[in-house]
Homo-oligomer: A and B are copies of this chain.
Amino acid sequence: MRKLRVAMVGGGRDAFIGAVHRHAMALDGRYELVAGALSSTPGKSLASGRDLGLAEDRIHADWPALLADELRRPAAERVDLVVIVTPNHLHFDVARAFVDAGFHVACDKPLVHGVAQAGELVSLVQARGTAFCVTYNYIGYPLVREARELVRGGAIGKVRKVVVEYHQGWLAGALESRSNKQSSWRTDPAQSGPGGALGDIGTHAENLLHTVTGLAIEELCAELASFGPGRRLDDDASILLRLSGGARGVLLVSQMAVGHENDLRLRVFGERGSLDWRQEEPNALIHAPLDAPPRRLTRGSAGLSESARRACRLPPGHPEGFIEAFANLYTELAADLHAGTRSGDYPRVADGARGVRFVERAVASQGLWVDMAAA
């Protein structure tokens, strides 16, 4: 199979997530980065493109130039996929323009800044029929897929409660007052959107909960806080959830939780068993059946579901990590792009939209119960 041609918007020198996307696309050899508008600073965009070995005529000063250039090129040169890894506030304009022009898109999360934008984008993707992947990378882990299959297959019975936590400590100090690129835009409402930790990592938690259990958040009661000195967005949130089917939930996120690095954990309690998975030890999943000893399921081992096995490159005991999980989304997307299908195992624009609504409703909650469906 030929490699898919990719253009990247954002992700220039010093950006964090853009490099991750490139590693993830490279890992399985299915993609080739050929074009980009890699920074909002033209000089940096150019330098970044050269670093990555792009041809000079495919390095652009901004995304409209990239779009215009792509539209001029013959199909055999034109990119198959546009990857959007800018700060959050730019996602909407870029995504809308490329989708509207018929391009397939992979976009980082949170998708956009509000439910209105999200709704418009969902409709547009549907209208154009393009593929659209939101890179909620954690659900690319094989054992997250296994958890999903176990829950859906009834292994733990009806779900009663879900506890999902995402604890980080990197914003415990006043990092944004120093010159940390990540913390500076992520704590600026204009660039990051209405949610701080909520948007950055709460959306991952919400998506993980939804993906594994299939349950929807119907109501939530969110207590947000900003502990960092002078911080304008939440760096901590504790949220009670009422889920579809009568299940309950708790979603905790924090970026000032010293001692936690990137500690996303999901526990699902059902009538006949429970599941426990932690992102920092992603190669294992604990399945505790009612009235029997807990079993430690491992990536690559015999007996996993087909969908989990498909996401493994290596035998058990040979750890796969963050990049591998991220790559699994791209691998599924590649299959769709090659085949013209839309059946791959990756998050869609609707998942991204649900996350946007989650952030918006949580911010609106102010400690009271709010309905997720409400405007």
Question: Which residues on A are within 8 Å of B, measured CB to CB?
Answer: 1-3, 16, 19-20, 22-23, 26-29, 52-53, 156, 160-161, 163, 168-170, 172-173, 221, 223, 225, 227, 236, 238, 240, 242, 248, 250, 252, 254, 256-263, 267, 269-274, 276, 279-283, 286-298, 300-303, 313-324, 367-369
Contacts and interface: CB of A to CB of B under 8 A. Distances in A.
B301 A297 contact: no
Contact of A53 (B3, B227, B294): B3
Contact of A321 (B223, B225, B291, B320): B320
- Copy number of this protein in the oligomer? 4
Given A238-B248, A269-B257, A288-B259, A314 B323 contact: yes
A317 B259 contact: no
Given A322-B320, A367-B369, A248 B262 contact: no
A294 B263 CA distance: 14
A280 B319 contact: yes
Given A1-B53, A315-B16, A369-B367, A160 B248 contact: no
A2 B54 CA distance: 10
A186 to B, nearest CB: 13
A222 to B, nearest CB: 9
A324 B236 CA distance: 32
B293 A270 contact: no
Which 10 pairs, one residue from A and one from B, show the smallest C-beta to C-beta distance? A261-B317, A259-B288, A262-B317, A319-B321, A321-B321, A293-B295, A261-B316, A259-B274, A318-B322, A258-B274
29 contacts: A2-B53, A29-B52, A156-B258, A160-B236, A169-B274, A172-B271, A172-B290, A225-B248, A227-B271, A240-B367, A250-B252, A256-B269, A258-B272, A259-B269, A259-B273, A261-B301, A262-B315, A263-B317, A279-B317, A280-B283, A282-B319, A292-B295, A292-B303, A313-B323, A318-B321, A319-B321, A320-B322, A320-B323, A323-B323
